[in-house]
């Protein structure tokens, strides 16, 4: 559970917000209406209250509420708290699922450290409707909560053949293929992507198409058939684990 510091000059560790604005000492920036509502109505903070800000470029900064009312708030940037640092270069390519499962997948992928989220439409994808604005908000909130310094990028859905046709040849695409004799996902890759199919898995034609690509790395996540969202979480965790030895 988050607790607040008794030092009025310290940022409230329970409040951490993402902004697109530049961060530097003395800058003033406007919070979004949703952030102003969160600060004033949900967290009941007023002028002078401290918080933390990050933008994915300038590290994390201490800031303070300069003015606030209803859906408007002005924040003053004060001092740096953490410098920007490198994060895992790992993409998640996933078939959209039902709404709650997709929401959870995006949230957990963000918490685990995926830097890009790429929805892909397969033959057995059970929904082609993707609310990008909703998923972007979930990713931003998960980044704020997990204390990472970036928010993953979110791309528009594309068909699997189109994704494979444009795939960067120097980025291994680790495909979680169930009921296969493939090894576990490799560890310690400098950059990679994880591909997870829909409920029901990839079609035989899609598996054949995947295996024909030189950048594809077939992988198994164990002897059991996992739900798609479970496979994404397990696969990301394995890829992000340090290499043995």
User: How confident is the model at residue 4, as a pLDDT?
Assistant: 42
Element (H, E) at 204: helix 204-211
Q: Note if the pTM is more than 0.85.
A: yes
User: How confident is the model at residue 244, as a pLDDT?
Assistant: 44
> What does residue 19 show for φ and ψ, rounded to 5 degrees?
-140, 150
Going by CATH, does the domain composed of 89-240 fall within 3.40.109.10? no
**Contact assessment for residue 91 and residue 193, using Cβ atoms and an 8 Å cutoff:** yes
Query: How far are the Cα atoms of 57, 166, 176 from residue 148, in angstroms, in the given order?
Result: 12, 29, 26
Query: What's the CA gap between 50 and 43, in Å, rounded?
Result: 12
Neighbours of 24 (CB within 10 A): 10
CATH 2.40.240.20 in the chain is located at 16-82
User: How confident is the model at residue 10, as a pLDDT?
Assistant: 57
CATH 3.40.1280.10 in the chain is located at 89-240
Query: What's the CA gap between 243 and 186, in Å, rounded?
Result: 8
Query: What's the CA gap between 147 and 16, in Å, rounded?
Result: 8
Query: What's the CA gap between 194 and 197, in Å, rounded?
Result: 10
User: How confident is the model at residue 223, as a pLDDT?
Assistant: 82
**Quick one: 16-82 is in which CATH superfamily?**
Hypothetical PUA domain-like; domain 1 (2.40.240.20)
> What does residue 143 show for φ and ψ, rounded to 5 degrees?
-65, -40
Query: What's the CA gap between 188 and 178, in Å, rounded?
Result: 22
Query: What's the CA gap between 3 and 219, in Å, rounded?
Result: 42
> What does residue 84 show for φ and ψ, rounded to 5 degrees?
-65, 135
Which residue ranges of the chain lie beneath pLDDT 50? 1-6, 8, 244-245
Query: What's the CA gap between 64 and 179, in Å, rounded?
Result: 54
User: How confident is the model at residue 181, as a pLDDT?
Assistant: 81
* Greatest Cα-to-Cα distance within the chain, rounded to the nearest angstrom: 62
**Contact assessment for residue 53 and residue 27, using Cβ atoms and an 8 Å cutoff:** no
Select from 70, 53, 71 the least CA-distant residue to 62.
53
């Amino acid at each position: 559970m988050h607790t607040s510091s008794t030092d009025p000059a310290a940022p409230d560790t329970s409040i951490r917000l993402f902004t697109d604005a530049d961060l530097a000492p003395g800058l003033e920036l406007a919070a979004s209406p949703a952030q102003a509502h969160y600060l004033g109505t949900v967290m009941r903070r007023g002028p002078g209250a401290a918080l933390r800000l990050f933008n994915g470029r300038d590290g994390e900064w201490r800031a303070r509420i300069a003015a606030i009312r209803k859906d408007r708030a002005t924040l003053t940037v004060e001092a740096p708290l953490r410098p920007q640092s490198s994060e895992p270069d790992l993409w998640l390519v996933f078939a959209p699922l039902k709404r709650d499962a997709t929401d959870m997948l995006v949230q957990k992928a963000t918490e685990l450290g995926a830097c890009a989220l790429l929805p892909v439409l397969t033959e057995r994808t059970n929904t082609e409707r993707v609310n990008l604005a909703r998923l972007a908000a979930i990713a931003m909130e998960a980044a704020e909560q997990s204390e990472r310094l970036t928010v993953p990028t979110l791309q528009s859905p594309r068909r699997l053949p189109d994704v494979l046709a444009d795939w960067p040849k120097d980025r291994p695409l680790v495909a979680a293929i169930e009921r296969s004799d493939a090894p576990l996902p490799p560890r310690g890759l400098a950059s990679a992507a994880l591909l997870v199919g829909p409920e029901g898995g990839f079609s035989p034609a899609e598996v054949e198409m995947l295996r024909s690509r030189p950048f594809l790395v077939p992988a198994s996540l164990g002897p059991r058939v996992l739900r798609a969202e479970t496979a994404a979480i397990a696969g990301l965790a394995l890829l992000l684990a340090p290499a043995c030895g």
